[in-house]
Structures are given as structure tokens and as C-alpha cells.
Chain A
Amino acid sequence: KAGVTQTPRYLIKTRGQQVTLSCSPISGHRSVSWYQQTPGQGLQFLFEYFSETQRNKGNFPGRFSGRQFSNSRSEMNVSTLELGDSALYLCASSLGRGMNSPLHFGNGTRLTVT
């Protein structure tokens, strides 16, 4: 079974731009969650989608948004990029929602904002 696929692997953007990241979950997984990983803050929860609905949201500004499609694929969008948004963005899929089952992580998208 194919794992979680995130595209692109690397992105370089400038301040003020916006970016869209994509995540394809493991086949059959209906929950997709997104995380920001930085050396200083570690892993931080962004949001979770299940059956095309946002079920939970972390403490990030409204510039961070996402959506999930009927095939469970998910996208995350960050608008008006700031230098502090430079990070590794990981998505994870799972069978059930809310961390009731193991999270399967993708390899991440490394975003650099200059």
C-alpha cells in the first residue's frame, strides 16, 4: 500500500506570497491532519479534516487554511507568508479521527520564506 504523499518536497517563497501544499493520504484513510515542525517549537498541530469537514484546529492565525476533497486528498494554504512560516509541514493520515488510530506521516514539504 502506498504511503502518504506530500507535494512539493521543497518550496522557496518570498514574504507576502501565498503557498498551497498537497497531501494524498493512504488509500482508505479518511482523516488528514497537518502539522508544522520547527527546531524551536517542535511539532505543532494545525488542523484536522475528516470526511471533507474541518474537525479540529490548532492555535494558528487565519492565514493558515485547508480543505479536504471527496477522495480524502487535502490541501493546505498559507497566505501572506511571513519569515516565521519557514518550516517543515507534515501531513498525516489515519483511519479514524482525532488520534484514535495511528498517524501515518508523509515526508513533508520544506517551506523556506525569504
Chain B
Amino acid sequence: GQQVMQIPQYQHVQEGEDFTTYCNSSTTLSNIQWYKQRPGGHPVFLIQLVKSGEVKKQKRLTFQFGEAKKNSSLHITATQTTDVGTYFCAGRRRDDKIIFGKGTRLHILP
């Protein structure tokens, strides 16, 4: 079963508002990656986090990996209509198996 909880499942925000999605794993992860999937498209790689407590920024996107390497977050500042899509986290467990969050579907209201 799913071992990475991702919340929220859906998020509607007004354009210009901030957005955050969270992933929580039941086990320690070796690393975590984030992907974005547009409606009808395939997942596209955004970032990889490896170190405990790591924070990375990409323009309006901020990614964090928790100190215990069990949780991660993606924060988008001042959302734009181009941010629409589903954001997934993917983690590699110690046994090398890859586990995904179910994703957060982001809707932007103009």
C-alpha cells in the first residue's frame, strides 16, 4: 500500500496566492524527488533532495527535506495559471524501492 502520505489531495487557490503540499513517509528515505504532471501529460522532474534538512529554490518554488528524511514539502509563492497540475513526491526507501505520494492537484482560480 501507499507509504507516502501526501496532503492535501486537492487545492484551489486564487491566482497570486501561495500553495504548499506536504509528503510524509513512514520510513526514512534515501532521497526524494518532486514531479509535476499537467492534465493529460506525464510527470516531469522538478528537483531532487538528498541531504537531511536540505532546502532548494527554483524561482517561486521552494523545496524542503526534513531533518529525519521522512518528510518533504513544496511551496509555491504567488501562484500563476501555469502552475496548474498535479505535484507528486517520490522517495527511495532504504531497500531501493520507489514510493510515490498520490499527488496534490492544484487548481488556480483567475
Chain A residues in the interface with B (C-beta under 8 A): 33, 35, 41-45, 48, 55-56, 58, 90, 92, 98-108
Measured between beta carbons, the chain A residues less than 8 angstroms from B41 are: 107
CB of B90 within 8 A of chain A? yes
Q: Is the CB of B100 within 8 A of A98?
A: no
CB of B31 within 8 A of chain A? yes
Assembled-state Cα–Cα distance A44/B45 (Å): 16
Measured between beta carbons, the chain B residues less than 8 angstroms from A44 are: 100
Main secondary structure of the interface of B (DSSP, over half): strand
Closest residue of chain A to B91 (Cβ to Cβ) is: A99
Contact of A90 among B31, B42, B97 (CB under 8 A): B42
CB of B85 within 8 A of chain A? no
Contact of A98 among B2, B88, B96, B101 (CB under 8 A): B96
Measured between beta carbons, the chain A residues less than 8 angstroms from B97 are: 45, 56, 58
> Which residues between 33 and 49 of chain B lie within 8 Å of chain A, taking CB atoms?
33, 35, 41-45, 48
Chain B's nearest CB lies how many Å from the CB of A109?
A: 11
Chain B's nearest CB lies how many Å from the CB of A96?
A: 11
Q: Is the CB of A106 within 8 A of B42?
A: yes
Closest residue of chain B to A97 (Cβ to Cβ) is: B96
Assembled-state Cα–Cα distance A48/B92 (Å): 13
Can you sample 17 A-B contacts with CB below 8 Å? A41-B102, A42-B88, A42-B100, A42-B101, A43-B88, A43-B90, A45-B97, A48-B98, A55-B96, A56-B98, A90-B43, A99-B90, A99-B98, A102-B48, A103-B45, A103-B90, A107-B41
